[in-house]
Amino acid sequence: MHILVTGGAGYIGSHIVKLLLENSNHKITILDNLVTGFQATIDTLTVIAKENNVTLNFMEEDLSDFSKIENIMHENQFDAIIHFAASLVVPESVENPLKYYLNNTANTANLIKCATENGVKKFIFSSTAATYGEPDATVVNLETGLKESDPTDPINPYGMSKLMSERVLKDTAFAYDDFKYAALRYFNVAGSDPDGRIGQSTKNATLLIKVAAETAIGKREKMYIFGDDYPTHDGTGIRDYIHVVDLAQAHIEALEYLEDHDSDVFNVGYSRGFSVKEVIDTMKKVSGIDFTVEIKERRAGDPAILISDNTKIKNTMHWQPRYDDLEVICKTTLEWEKKI
């Protein structure tokens, strides 16, 4: 197939491109505006493509340029799209909601439109657990995790912008018989390529495990815990952390799944959670550094607990994670930080 990967120069997108280059003969085109992605990542992926004798193209474009995107889609005859390109910082989405609805929802809707007009049969969408909002313990079982069938009620524009895109995909698949999609609702993505060739290079990072790694090696003087008064066992938020390579593998399996299955939505996580304090303690353990941590007030739009129920993706796609270990996640993050 000829696969378009939007946001392929970014953190998650680059990891799936690497897996595709190493394990398939698909032709890959990356489309990225390099706002949060990196040319250095493209350079590394280009080397990997040559090593594996796979065709890799890169286009530096922005999805907001609708006429340009329409031309690209028409000229390249893609068979599938894996769509990562999006804004994803929850507090920023609260402060600047229009940026998120324009970039995450409007641009995605146009990309879907172009897909249907140009014969793209498969669309893998990077969604989020933020679509669930603040889970209601009287409605869902927080101990066993959120199911795909549980209520979706986002509490921030980031989550809502992704849920709206899911609805566009659902309605489009209903209207077009030859268009199928899989929406993967990620929980907290962390870790880096165990080979050490790519990783998360995001500037001004907000993801907890990367921030902890930066603090451990002295890139930051200290780090903060945003809220220690949540209704959890130690007062800090609990999240389901998934290694980025396991997440990348889920995308490849979703692409294969759509060959003979209908469109669907899947949680991608490990079905267990760790608190912010537990994550920080683990990073201190693997790094051997007792770095400084301070408590600050809660951030807007952060729920207390988000854990996945991953039964569906395991049973239907037979997805089996390989890196379900918090120490491994922290260690690969730390090693990448040391490298860059």
Express each pLDDT in 276-292 by its tens digit: 999 999 999 999 999 99
The model's pLDDT over 216-244, given as tens digits with 9 standing for 90+, comes to: 999 999 999 999 999 899 999 999 999 99
pLDDT of 139 reads 66
Rounded-to-integer distance, Cα 141 and Cα 139, Å: 7
Q: Indicate the residue type of 143.
A: E
pLDDT of 196 reads 92
The model's pLDDT over 239-271, given as tens digits with 9 standing for 90+, comes to: 999 999 999 999 999 999 999 999 999 999 999
Alpha-carbon distances of 140 from 135, 188, 189, 311, 338, rounded to whole Å: 7, 19, 23, 15, 41
Sorted by where each starts, the structural domains of the chain and their CATH numbers stand as 2-191+241-269 (3.40.50.720)
Could you list the active site residues?
Answer: 158
pLDDT of 170 reads 97
pLDDT of 301 reads 63
Spans in the chain with pLDDT lower than 70: 137-143, 300-301
